[in-house]
Structure 1
Amino acid sequence: MTVTPLRPALPAILLEDQVRAALLEDLGRAGDITTYATIAPSLAAEARVNTRQDGVVAGLELARTAFRLVDPAIVFTAHVEDGDRVQPGDSLVTVAGPARPVLSAERVALNFLMHLSGIATLTARYATEIAHTRAKITCTRKTLPGLRSLAKYAVRLGGGSNHRYGLDDAVLIKDNHIAVAGGVAGAVAAARAYCGHLVKIEIEVDGLEQMRDALAAAPDAILLDNMAPDLLREAVEINRRHAGLSPEAYGRAPGRVTLEASGNVDLTTVRSIAESGVDYISTSKITMTAPTLDVGLDVVTH
């Protein structure tokens, strides 16, 4: 049975502190002195947030929170939802209320919206490149400090998947861990003895012999680091034979070791990596190199 996943969501309580911190950083010690000096407190304004590029929207609730925290009297009307695809000229939001707070909240609201929409948009480009395969694009822990939960939310909106959120929610045994621990089998065994039964264990390998050692240790997942597509295909075949599965059954078989490819992933290579038969492709590019989506706020004049 194919299940269509629900759209990602973030609890409001996770958003407020981050938006509040951004507003306090921007307002500084004296508030928005430009607006205070030029706009009378009695004036009202209506403004529209429009996109100037194709993209995937992410961050609307952060924008809403920014306007609400500056002044609850601002009416924020979203015309799209997070995860929607938009085109140049599309109206995302209308805000209306006292002019001073509308203008003071503008930059923080747009910063979140542009940054997260940029991540969602780039992730969608990667996801489209590999949509004909079973592979999923997934993010890493390489995110801007303090914004990880938001960046990973944007990745999901773009059609990607999330890797671990931090050092505490899954085991990923990398080359340095293996070097210090003394080998693949010992590192996996130590992790299994230390962690609870719900904690997944993944181990990174950089060659097929190391992969065979990893399979014998029975981790939940193996990260194939910096392997060319030909080697990745061999790795998939080794995994299939180790699990005793036919080629037809391999892709949907429960319980087999999950294979993740990483390294040298970009929009020119991701298709060939996905076509090797791996399950996941991890890259930091979707969170660390995504350009912002060009979004602007324009006051409506009557």
Structure 2
Amino acid sequence: MLYLSSEEIDRFIKEDVPYFDLTSHLLGIRDQPGKITYFIREEAVVCGTEEVKKIFKKLNIECTFYIPSGEKAKKNDILISGTGKAEDLHTAWKAGQNILDHCSGIATQTRRMVDIGNAMEPKVAVLTTRKGFPGTKALAIKSVLAGGGYPHRLGISETVLIFKQHLNFIGGMDGLAEKIKEIKQYCCEKKIIAEAESLEDGLRLAEMGVDGIQFDKLKPEELKEAVIWIKKKTPHISLLAAGGINEKNISAYVKTGVDGVVTTSLYNAKPADVGVKLEML
């Protein structure tokens, strides 16, 4: 689903075990054979087992079972298990648990929002912003995908999204109106999306010929009016809602008729309740 390099897997291990497991060393259990089992204490959408499996491989732990990311798990289901030496199992323990906790939490929350949105409109897209915690992007994006959502933008190098902050440097809406033809010419294979904070801004952007409009912080009733007016004039334009959208209010925004909702809330999802058992063989 998403590629993580060998160096990134090493970093997950090194964050928790920079040198060696002092406790296992002092207890004299380093070489004892054992088994590690990660299980879930609640229903959840699984995510991160592939990364834990790679951690196992790095530490010479044989993976004996795992559920692929994106699958649903019931309470007390085993997510992934493996066998190896006690010191290696303890080295993998927290790195693996942290990945499964946070990734499955985001995936589960994403699936809830997708299900709520699809109940109102089957084709609405649930999209995530770039406002994730630094250093966690790859795992966060994988979690969103596992839950049925999509990244709004993976980075500012790949898409064109014109904000008010950009307009401040080109003379506002008038400046954009003068440049839009040139922008579309040079980025002929990309969509040009622009942000609007009012119906008036949205109508003007539509008249300029942008491919999509992202409405920021409009109330659902205001957004619904904007969608009706703009779709009437330019039915093929893509319309997005952004600004404070979460599980509690997504229904109201989907009802407006937008093509997608953009949210940061998924990155703040409560971690899934993942338990770990380590046993001697």
TM-score scaled by structure 1?
Answer: 0.86
Encode CA deviations 1:84-112: one digit per residue, 9 max, x unaligned. 11122011111111111011111111111
The number of residue pairs the alignment matches comes to 277
**Mapped pair 1:202 → 2:202:** no
Name the SS of the counterpart of 1:181 in structure 2: coil
Name the SS of the counterpart of 1:199 in structure 2: coil
Q: Aligned-pair distance for 1:178?
A: 1.8
- Residue in structure 2 matched with residue 10 of structure 1 by the alignment: 2
- Residue in structure 2 matched with residue 6 of structure 1 by the alignment: none
Structure 2 residues not aligned, in runs of 5+: none
- Residue in structure 2 matched with residue 297 of structure 1 by the alignment: 276
2, 18, 23: which is aligned to 2:13?
A: 23
Name the SS of the counterpart of 1:143 in structure 2: coil
Q: Aligned-pair distance for 1:131?
A: 1.2
Q: Aligned-pair distance for 1:239?
A: 2.1
Aligned partners of 1:39 and 1:109: how far apart in 2? 23
**Mapped pair 1:269 → 2:260:** no
- Residue in structure 2 matched with residue 187 of structure 1 by the alignment: 176
Indicate if the aligned counterparts of 2:105 and 2:269 stay in contact, CA closer than 8 A: yes
Indicate if the aligned counterparts of 1:39 and 1:99 stay in contact, CA closer than 8 A: no
169, 176, 198: which is aligned to 2:165?
A: 176
Name the SS of the counterpart of 2:98 in structure 1: helix
Aligned partners of 1:60 and 1:89: how far apart in 2? 16
Please tell me the residue identity of whatever aligns with 2:2: L
How high is the sequence identity, in percent, across the aligned residues? 27
Question: Cα–Cα, structure 1 residues 114 and 192, in superposed 2: closer, same or farther, change >3 Å?
Answer: farther
Please give the residue correspondences for 1:119-198 in structure 2 after superposition, counting only pairs within 5 Å: 119-132=106-119, 133=121, 134-184=123-173, 186-187=175-176, 190=179, 193-194=182-183, 195-198=186-189
The farther-off stretch of 35-44 and 260-269 is 35-44
- Residue in structure 1 matched with residue 41 of structure 2 by the alignment: 52
Name the SS of the counterpart of 1:128 in structure 2: helix
Question: Cα–Cα, structure 1 residues 177 and 120, in superposed 2: closer, same or farther, change >3 Å?
Answer: same
Indicate if the aligned counterparts of 2:24 and 2:30 stay in contact, CA closer than 8 A: no
Structure 1 residues not aligned, in runs of 5+: 1-8, 246-255
Q: Aligned-pair distance for 1:191?
A: 6.2
The farther-off stretch of 114-123 and 170-179 is 170-179
- Residue in structure 2 matched with residue 240 of structure 1 by the alignment: 231
Q: Aligned-pair distance for 1:206?
A: 0.5
Give the aligned CA root-mean-square deviation in angstroms: 1.8
Aligned partners of 2:240 and 2:83: how far apart in 1? 47
Q: Aligned-pair distance for 1:262?
A: 0.6
Please tell me the residue identity of whatever aligns with 2:83: A
**Mapped pair 1:257 → 2:237:** yes
Q: Aligned-pair distance for 1:264?
A: 2.6
- Residue in structure 1 matched with residue 84 of structure 2 by the alignment: 97
Question: Cα–Cα, structure 1 residues 60 and 229, in superposed 2: closer, same or farther, change >3 Å?
Answer: same
Indicate if the aligned counterparts of 1:52 and 1:89 stay in contact, CA closer than 8 A: yes
- Residue in structure 1 matched with residue 211 of structure 2 by the alignment: 220
TM-score scaled by structure 2?
Answer: 0.92
Question: Cα–Cα, structure 1 residues 277 and 21, in superposed 2: closer, same or farther, change >3 Å?
Answer: same
Q: Aligned-pair distance for 1:234?
A: 1.2
Q: Aligned-pair distance for 1:49?
A: 0.8
